[in-house]
Amino acid sequence: MPDFWDNVETAQVVLKERGTLSEQVERARQLLTMVSDCEVLLEFVTADETEAALAELNHEIEKTEQVLADFELSKMLSGEHDVASAIVEINSGAGGTEAQDWCEMLLRMYLRWAEKQGYKVQILSIHEGETAGIKNVSVLIEGVNAFGYLRAEQGIHRLVRISPFDSNARRHTSFSSISVMPDLDTEIDIVINEDELKIDTYRSSGAGGQHINKTDSAVRITHLPTGIVVACQTDRSQHKNKAQALKILKIKLYELEETKKREVLDQMAGERRKIDFGSQIRSYVMHPYQMVKDHRTNFETGDTQSVLDGELWGFIRAYLMDDYWNKVR
């Protein structure tokens, strides 16, 4: 196509989709190769019944089963934007320092998870607590299927523990909310009236070097008709921060319209599957026992620390499987 690069944005979207499909084909080829290798090893074990040959076969079978499970999980991603990168927003609930510390713990959990997947991470904005922790944070997690996987995390997360901020060592319950949006590369058909925007600039907080603390480069935009507030402080350029904030605002307005459509369809079907802000999807208990339980799927584990270190695949897999079968029934 000689005119392919006439529209650079469209071309980039096509190339990204091509890359995603190529990756899926490559994974399928890898799986077929691993199955073939297992068949060859099985012939060796049949001819030479030694413990070493059997151990090697079992090892290869376990590796193949893991790749197959991962491939199967990726096939559960059927949403329109599941392949996209994700914008994750974490907001602390009521409870002051305790809740803000929980918010920071969740940020660390998702950063560790993203790191293990080889995803790129960029903190778009962060509002730190007065004493400890953070009040809210917005993070861009870039990678194939990031949104598809992380949409399993949307909702209210509850922590039960002995508070490190309580001199009487009492048990506290804290809440934080997780919101996940797709990072849409294509131009969203959302018209924003400049007269309906309140734009503020301020000095960035958090890590970022001396320059961040000397200039009012951070941008906060309030969409007056809906009350939606977005912010970006990741770049030294105020112009770039404003452009990124406007992009996030468009995504939020797009998501708002999609939510309204889903609510109408759910009401017509006599069922509502939307997770409301006040609903608790998962509990992390650190006292008097150790347990993390997802209340939607009933998947649970006693290894709380591993979960807080980013081991989320059990919860993600259970949610996606449950969501998939609910759709095909």
| SS3 (DSSP) at 157 | strand
3-state secondary structure 89-126: EEEECCCCHHHHHHHHHHHHHHHHHHHHHCCEEEEEEE
Q: What percent of the chain has pLDDT over 90?
A: 46
Model confidence pLDDT, tens digit, residues 98-134: 999 999 999 999 999 999 999 999 999 999 988 899 9
Contacts with 127 (C-beta within 8 Å, 6 or more apart), sequence order: 134, 135, 136, 137, 205
% pLDDT > 70, the chain: 86
pLDDT of the residue at 18: 77
Would you state the structure tokens that stand for residue 328, as one six-digit string? 């095909």
Q: What are phi and psi of 109, to 5 degrees?
A: -60, -45
With both helix axes pointing from N to C terminus, report the angle between 51-75 and 313-328 in degrees, rounded to the nearest 10: 50
pLDDT value for 208 = 41
Average pLDDT over residues 250-268: 75
Rg (CA), the chain: 23
Name the residue with higher pLDDT: 47 or 33.
33
How would residue 267 be classed by pLDDT, with cut points 50, 70 and 90?
low
Overall average pLDDT of the 309-314 stretch: 96
pLDDT band at 328 (very low <50, low <70, confident <90, very high): low
State mean pLDDT over 12-17: 70
Contacts 24+ apart (CB under 8 A), 53-59: none
Model confidence pLDDT, tens digit, residues 64-104? 888 887 777 777 887 778 888 999 999 998 778 999 999 99
| Residue 25 pLDDT | 81
pLDDT recorded at residue 296: 93
Structure confidence at residue 268 as a pLDDT band (50, 70, 90) = very low
Q: How many CB atoms lie within 10 A of CB 226?
A: 12
Burial class (CB in 10 A: 0-12, 13-18, 19+), 292: buried
